[in-house]
Structure 1
C-alpha cells in the first residue's frame, strides 16, 4: 500500500463518500491529521551542507539509537553533531495509534522494503517481510508502540558474558532517565521515571475485548502487573510510547524539542550513508560518504562516527566500509580493514499465527457512519477507538516447561485484531488472533552484502528454526492459545475457536502436532525484534564486533549504538532497550572525551 502524504486538495467529504471504505478512511484521517499537524519550523533545517563539512560527531541513522545519541551529545554546547537519515520527515498520520497497521506495510513510503531469503521451513517458503522504518524516528515511527524492557536476567546475563557495566542494576537508571511515565503510582517506584523526553502511558481507550482479555488471562493464572517493574511474568495493559492518544516516536520525543533550538545540531534527511571513511593504515574512522539529491558527498568527523542504522543497516554499512568477515568482503573486491564477525549472530523473536477466536457477541467491526463518528472524536479530542490499538495493547508473558528458571519467561503473547475482509485500522475487527513469540530463540542467522553497491539490499537470512527448540516453544504457545479459551470470561462473551484449517494444512487433524508444525512452517513470521548482528562482547569472544563501550574492535573512533549490539535479544520488545542502549552509549562517549556526567 502506498500511503499518500496528504489527501487531494479537491476531495470533499461528499466526494469521498462514493469511494471504498478503506480509501475514505485513509483520505479523511490524512486530511484531518495533516490539517491539525503541529507546525514544525525545524523542517526547513534539512537543506544541504557543503561537501567535506566538519563536525565533532557524525551519527548515522535517526531511529531510537541515533536520535537519542544526537540529543545527548548536543547537550555539550561546544560539540557539533551531524545526524544523517536515509528516509524523510515523519508523516503526520503516523501519530494515529490505530493507523500503525498501515505504517507496517512493506510497500509503505516509510519502510525499507526488506525481505529475507526464501527458505522452505518458515514464512511459507516465500521469505519474510522484515519491516524497518525508513523515516525520522526509524521503526519507532512505524512500530506498535509497546514499551517493554525485557527481563532483569537478560541484562545480568549480558554482564556475565563479559560485558562489564551492563547488568540490570547498572542499566536501570538509563531506562528511568528517558522516561516520562504518565502513571503517578508507577513513578513512585524505583523502576520508573518522570520528566524524561519519552512519554510512556496506556492508551486512553479500551474496548470490551481488551478488558476481557486482561480479565480472562488473569482467570487462567496470569497475574496482572507492571511487566516493567519488579517481576516480568504475567499480563499487562501495555505501557506505550504515546501521550494523550498520539504516538510519540523518538523523532517527536527526543528530536523535535531540540531540533530548531540547538545550533550545534544539523539534521539531514533523505541522505543515505554509503560508507564510513576509515584510514586503512591507522584504522581510524574520520568521516562518512553519503548520497543526497543524486550526489555523493562527504562529511568529516573530528572525534567519532556513531553507526545507529539498526540490525540490518548497521552491519551492511560496516561491511561496505571494509569492516566485516574476510570471506564476505574479499570476493566482492572490498579491502578488508578489520576482519570481524559483522552480520553474524543475527536473530529475532520468531512468532506464528494459527489460533483465532471468532467474536460471536463482541465484534468491533464498524460501518462507515460509525467510522466517521470515531474519526471526528479523534480529531477533536484524540480519544475513542482510533486513539488505541484494540486488543493489540494487551501483552502477556509465561514460562514453559523448557525453561528451568520458573520466573524467566521464554514465551510472550500478543493479540492481533483481524477482520475477514482484509486490512483495516486496528480499531475494527471481528476476530482475535493469538500470537505466541519465542523470547530466547537458539537459531542464528546472518546479514551479508551482495555487492559493493550501497543501494542494493543485503542478503538477510534469519535462519529461523535451525534449532528444534524454537519450534517446540511455538508448539507450546499455540496450545496455550487454545487453553486460554477455558477462561470463564471468554466463554461468557462467546469467544469461539475458529477450527477451519489454515490454508495448506487441511490434510492434518486440526490442533494435532503435525497440524501445528505445518502452520508454523507456513505462517511463522518475524515479530520485528531484530538484533545481535554487531554483537557486544569481550575481546575473548571471537564473534564480538564491539566492546562493552560499544567501540568497534581495532577501529579507532567508530562505535555502533543500536539493537545490533545486543549479545542476545532481550526477552521482550526491543524499542525501550534500544533507547536504554543509546542513553548509556551517549554517556560512555561523554566519559571517554572527559565530559563530566550529570
Structure 2
C-alpha cells in the first residue's frame, strides 16, 4: 500500500512483537481490521450523502497567491493521476495537481467494501434529478451517481474491473474526430505501457501480445478463482459462445474478469501512478483543494481559483491547465467559468467566455440485476477468516465480486457485426440494508425484490447495456460553485426504445443461461417477483419485463460525454482531437467526459489510456514550441 495514515504506520512498526498465526499473519493485525471494518459499517449505517460542497466553502473571498506552475491539473482521478505522473517526468516542468479529496486509507483498500466505501466521504454523493424512464423503484425516483472523491477518483470506490472495450469503439472515435491516432491499433501501445499484467489464474485465456508487463497499473485475476465462474463459462459453451480474453483479440464471448488489485488490495490509479513518484520535487500535490473556476484572459486559460483549508487561492499556469475532474465535475467547472451553453449561462448571470455545448450529452451504461437462487455450495466464512485470507492476499475481501465471470454479447439490435452491445456480469451477495441504502431502493420495491427470498445461495445475473442511444444533461442550479449541479441521466429514453429493447434481449439471454444444463444442476431458480407497478402486465411477459426494467434499472456509474470530443462545436463537440477546448488556448479536458459515446468497456481503463496518450501529446506540443 502506498498511502498510509500515521495510525497504520504505528501498527506496522510494532507488529514484530505480536503473535502470528501459522501463516505469518499477526493476530493483532487481524483484530485491527475487524475493528476497522466494524467501525466503518457502523458509520455507514448513519451516513448521509452530502447534498452540496459547502464543506469546501472558504471563510472569506480573499484570493491568495498559490504560485505559478507550468501545468495545473484539476482532479487526481483515473486520468489526472496518469497525466501528473507522466508530465512530472520532465524535470524542468513544475506540476500542480489539485484534488478535492484526500488519500486512500486501509479501508478503501479493501475491494469487497466498495458499496460501503460509497457511503463515506470518498463519494461526492451525487444524485440524479427525478426520473421518468428508469430508477422508478428508488426513493424519489432519483438514481445514485457514485463519483470518487480523493486521490484515485472513482477508482477508489469501484469494483476495480479492468475493461478496455472493443477496437470498433476506438475506430469509431477516430473517425468521428478525424484523427487516426485514436484508432485501436494506435492506442493499444498506451494500454500496454500502463499495464503490469500478471496471470494469477492459470485457466484464464490470455492473448499475451495485447498486455503490458512493465507499467504502473497492476492487473491480475481474482485469487482463488470462483467455481461459479467455471459454471458460467460452461453454460456459455453450451450456448455456443466463445471463451475469450476480453481485453485481447476478441471481446465477444464469456470471460474471466481482470482486476486492478495487488496482493489482495485495491490498486487505484493514484496508488499506481502517483505512489511510486510522489516525492518528485517538481510535482506538488494539493489535497483538500476544491476548484471553482478557471480564469480566462483574452481566450487564454491562465489560472485556477480553488479553496483549501477554508481559504481561497489562485494557481497560475504558464503552459496549460488540464481539467480532469470527471464527467460530472468537469462540465460544472467549465460552466462556472463561463464556458458552456450561452443561454444557460446568461440565465444564471454568468458572463459568457465561450459558447459551447458543455454538459449536453451525458450518457451511461445501464444495468438491471435479475435475481436467482441456487444450491451452489459457496462456503460463507466469518469476518475473522475473511480478514486472515485478505492479509495473505486472497479470498472474498480481495475482490469487488466473489464471482469473477462476465460475458460480452451482440444483440439483434446492434447493426455492426462483432460489436458487443450487452455485457452480463455474475455476482452473489445476500441482501442487506447496506445494499438498499447504496442504491436508495424505496421500501416497497426493496421488500418485494429482496425480503423473504430463498435461503439458497443467491445469484444475480446482470445484463448491462453498453451502447446507449439515450442521453441526458448536466446543468448548473445557479452560479454558486458549492451547489451540486442538476444531473438528468435520462437513461432508457430514446424515442425508438432501442435501449430498453436491448435490455429486454439481455434479460432473455440471462434466462437462457440460467436454463442451461450446468445451471440446472445447481438448482438455479428465478426469484423475480411481481412488482405492484407492473400489475397491469402478465407476469414474465415482455410488457412485465420492460416495466421491471424501468423500475429497477440504474445508470452503471460510467458517465461519459459531457465535454465530448469532435470536429465542430455546432455538432456537439466541446474539445478537439487533442482535447483542447474549442475557441480557447491552454485549456484541455481529459477524462471520461470527452468520450462521444458509451464504449463496450468500463471507462476506468479507457481513462488511464487517455492520460497516457494525452501526456505524449502535451510533451510533443511543448517540445515543438521550444
TM-score interval (norm. to shorter): 0.7 to 0.9
Asked if 2 retains the 8 angstrom alpha-carbon contact of 1:358 and 1:498, the reply is yes
Q: What is residue 545 of structure 2 aligned with on the other side?
A: 516
Shift of 1:596: 11
Shift of 1:404: 2.7
Counterpart mapping for 1:71-150 below 5 A: 71-103=85-117, 105=118, 107-124=119-136, 126-150=141-165
Find out whether 1:324 has 2:340 as its counterpart. Answer: yes
Post-superposition Cα deviations, 1:513-561, rounded to whole Å, max 9, x if no partner, equal 1111111111110111110110111137531111101100111100001
Q: What is residue 22 of structure 2 aligned with on the other side?
A: none
Q: Judge which range, 505-514 or 469-478, deviates more.
A: 505-514
Asked if 1 retains the 8 angstrom alpha-carbon contact of 2:207 and 2:248, the reply is no
Post-superposition Cα deviations, 1:106-150, rounded to whole Å, max 9, x if no partner, equal x32100010011022210161100100011100011111111111
Shift of 1:391: 4.5
Q: State the SS of the aligned residue for 1:478.
A: helix
Shift of 1:364: 4.7
Q: Residue 170 of structure 2: which of 126, 131, 155 is its match?
A: 155
- Call closer, same or farther: CA 1:395–1:334 in 2, change over 3 Å: same
Q: State the SS of the aligned residue for 1:419.
A: coil
Q: What is residue 590 of structure 2 aligned with on the other side?
A: 561
Q: State the SS of the aligned residue for 1:287.
A: strand
Q: Distance in 2 between matches of 1:154 and 1:189?
A: 21
Q: What is residue 84 of structure 2 aligned with on the other side?
A: 70
Q: Distance in 2 between matches of 1:114 and 1:338?
A: 27
Q: State the SS of the aligned residue for 2:529.
A: coil
Find out whether 1:434 has 2:452 as its counterpart. Answer: no
Counterpart mapping for 1:303-452 below 5 A: 303-353=319-369, 355-366=370-381, 370-379=382-391, 381-423=392-434, 430-452=457-479
Counterpart mapping for 1:263-274 below 5 A: 263-274=281-292
Q: State the SS of the aligned residue for 2:314.
A: strand
- Call closer, same or farther: CA 1:298–1:463 in 2, change over 3 Å: same
Q: Judge which range, 187-196 or 266-275, deviates more.
A: 187-196
Shift of 1:365: 4.1
Q: What is residue 536 of structure 1 aligned with on the other side?
A: 565
Q: Residue 485 of structure 2: which of 442, 450, 458 is its match?
A: 458
Q: Residue 221 of structure 2: which of 199, 202, 217 is its match?
A: 202
RMSD: 2.7
Asked if 1 retains the 8 angstrom alpha-carbon contact of 2:465 and 2:503, the reply is yes
Asked if 2 retains the 8 angstrom alpha-carbon contact of 1:29 and 1:375, the reply is no
Any gaps of 5 or more consecutive residues in structure 1?
10-21, 32-48
Q: Distance in 1 between matches of 2:477 and 2:254?
A: 43
Asked if 2 retains the 8 angstrom alpha-carbon contact of 1:499 and 1:510, the reply is no
Q: Residue 606 of structure 2: which of 557, 577, 596 is its match?
A: 577
Q: What is residue 574 of structure 2 aligned with on the other side?
A: 545
Q: Distance in 2 between matches of 1:331 and 1:424?
A: 39
Asked if 2 retains the 8 angstrom alpha-carbon contact of 1:441 and 1:470, the reply is yes
Shift of 1:80: 0.3
Asked if 1 retains the 8 angstrom alpha-carbon contact of 2:424 and 2:461, the reply is yes
Post-superposition Cα deviations, 1:450-502, rounded to whole Å, max 9, x if no partner, equal 11111100011122122111010111111111111122211111221114324
Q: State the SS of the aligned residue for 1:226.
A: coil
> TM-score, structure 2 length as denominator?
0.84
Asked if 2 retains the 8 angstrom alpha-carbon contact of 1:325 and 1:341, the reply is yes
Shift of 1:417: 2.2
Q: Distance in 2 between matches of 1:475 and 1:138?
A: 32
Any runs of at least 4 consecutive aligned residues in structure 1 with deviations exceeding 6 A, and if so which? 22-25, 28-31, 184-188
- Call closer, same or farther: CA 1:458–1:240 in 2, change over 3 Å: same
Q: Distance in 2 between matches of 1:309 and 1:356?
A: 35
Q: State the SS of the aligned residue for 1:402.
A: coil
> TM-score, structure 1 length as denominator?
0.87
Asked if 2 retains the 8 angstrom alpha-carbon contact of 1:590 and 1:596, the reply is no
Asked if 1 retains the 8 angstrom alpha-carbon contact of 2:326 and 2:593, the reply is yes
Shift of 1:192: 1.0
- Call closer, same or farther: CA 1:485–1:187 in 2, change over 3 Å: closer
Q: Residue 304 of structure 2: which of 277, 288, 292 is its match?
A: 288
- Call closer, same or farther: CA 1:422–1:208 in 2, change over 3 Å: farther
Find out whether 1:252 has 2:264 as its counterpart. Answer: no
Q: Judge which range, 194-203 or 409-418, deviates more.
A: 409-418
Q: What is residue 276 of structure 1 aligned with on the other side?
A: 294
Matched length: 552
Q: What is residue 490 of structure 1 aligned with on the other side?
A: 519
Q: Distance in 1 between matches of 2:362 and 2:565?
A: 12
Asked if 1 retains the 8 angstrom alpha-carbon contact of 2:197 and 2:211, the reply is yes
Q: Distance in 2 between matches of 1:23 and 1:512?
A: 46
Shift of 1:244: 2.4
Asked if 2 retains the 8 angstrom alpha-carbon contact of 1:210 and 1:390, the reply is no
Any gaps of 5 or more consecutive residues in structure 2?
11-32, 43-62, 439-454
Asked if 1 retains the 8 angstrom alpha-carbon contact of 2:82 and 2:269, the reply is yes
